[in-house]
Amino acid sequence: MTMPLTSANPATGKPLSSYPEHSDEQIGQLLQQVHRDWQGWRRTPLATRAELMRQAGRRLREQAESLARLMAQEMGKPIAQGRSEVEKCAWVCEYYADQAAAFLQAEPVATDAAKSYVSFEPLGVILAVMPWNFPFWQVFRAAAPALMAGNAVVLKHASNVTGCALAIERLLREAGLPEHLLRVALITSSRVATLIEHPLISGITLTGSSAAGSAVAALAGRHLKKTVLELGGSDPYLIFDDADLEPTVEVCVNSRLLNNGQSCIAAKRFIVMKAIRRRFEQRMVELMRARIVGDPLDETVQVGPLARHDLRDALHDQVVRSVKHGATALLGAAVPDSPGAYYPPTVLSGVTKGMPAFDEETFGPVAAVIEAADEADAVRLANDSSFGLGAAVFTRDLARGEWIAATELQAGCCFVNAVVRSDPRLPFGGVKQSGYGRELSVFGIREFVNIKTVYMAAPQ
């Protein structure tokens, strides 16, 4: 029995829209349509694919205002951040339009053959299981390289951003891509297994929780299907006592509060040298307190609501349990007595191993400050996590920062004196419970291709 997919405005709690769920028969028809369009797309010249992808970028920019407004309404993203997200999606479309030919160029290999080389051929229909927190960027980050490589995409988006999912489907059609090259499967998460198992699905990319990634990987492995998993994070920012404190705290606060704190690569654990911890905390509290919280459609607002009330309640439970185990709340830590799924910017001091704020991913505007005795202790604390997505180091000694980032930190994305962020030009992904595989750059486009050996002997 199918159920409607519903969305609600997290700023007010009021319902927005309801969408009928696809039946099994409709899903079967959809997969056949996508596979049929893929057969033509895989033979479409790269130059043609590139021009259509550039047109998608143009469409994104033309519709930036309405798409940003849709994100604000469905998941609470401040509208200015929504515009930036749309611009980043246009950038990734253009990046792969410009670079795909070079990335997919066959590579000759010298052997005893008359001719031998490695080619990169599309796999087929890729299932993209995407979250609500960056409802456009997460999709385009995976879809742009997959489509440029000659694949097709079935999108299973989070139910609370179904409007965003359908907007993506419509926009790509308007840009001139084949009608069924990217289709939205309107199903609940409980039915994702039927898609993974379907013989027309060739690979799966998922962005989500570690638990979801484990379940998808197990099922995909049973059916011998390629997966890329971008999962949770508890990103450590290491602040050494020679860091330029004022800009460092500003960067830390910006990273912690971006997207209302709902980002897998947001700074979450701030590991600060003992000599500067109190000054760091004092300035962080001042900056966090000054951020404007409110209606995400208000241009002045910097922090909106969390995407759903249950997510807000789960975050508050993590804060309460951390305080119960000895952390001190320097700011926030209380559920507002007002409509909407709001949670205040919160700073926890004295966080240690064994507290949820240290061990778990806190998906919201909660900063955990952890004191370190020295460099070795800071690195130990940073790596003492089941996650390994992003990490950052702040120091005036660039050689020291580079050494720690490049060789000491166990994470897929390590930055020095800058906020951890994704960039189409650089590979993105994690280690440990943060997943495997890479998105973006040349590595991302080659995740869902058949890396094929072609060997030709001379005629006898």
Structural tokens at position 452: 């094929």
**If you search the block for the tokens 């840009």, which residue do you land on?**
175
Residue 408 one-letter amino acid: E
The residues, ordered by sequence, that sit 6+ positions from 456 with a Cβ below 8 Å of its Cβ are: 113, 114, 115, 116
Phi, psi of 393 (to 5 degrees): -125, 135
Distance in angstroms (rounded) separating the CA atoms of residues 345 and 287: 10
Known catalytic residue at 361: no
Catalytic residue among 230, 281, 375, 408: 230
Q: What are all long-range contacts of 35-40, with beta carbons under 8 Å and residues at least 24 apart?
A: 35/124, 35/125, 35/152, 35/200, 36/180, 37/152, 37/178, 37/179, 37/180, 37/181, 38/122, 38/124, 38/125, 38/151, 38/152, 38/181, 40/178
**Which distant-in-sequence residues (6+ apart) come within 8 Å of 126 by Cβ?**
142, 146, 151, 152, 153, 154, 201, 202, 203, 204, 205, 448
Q: Which of 93, 252, 264, 413 is catalytic?
A: 264
Please give the C-alpha separations between residue 151 and each of 143, 201, 284, 383, in angstroms, as whole numbers. 9, 11, 45, 37
> What is the identity of the amino acid at 296?
P
230 noted as active-site residue? yes
**What are the residue numbers of the active site?**
230, 264
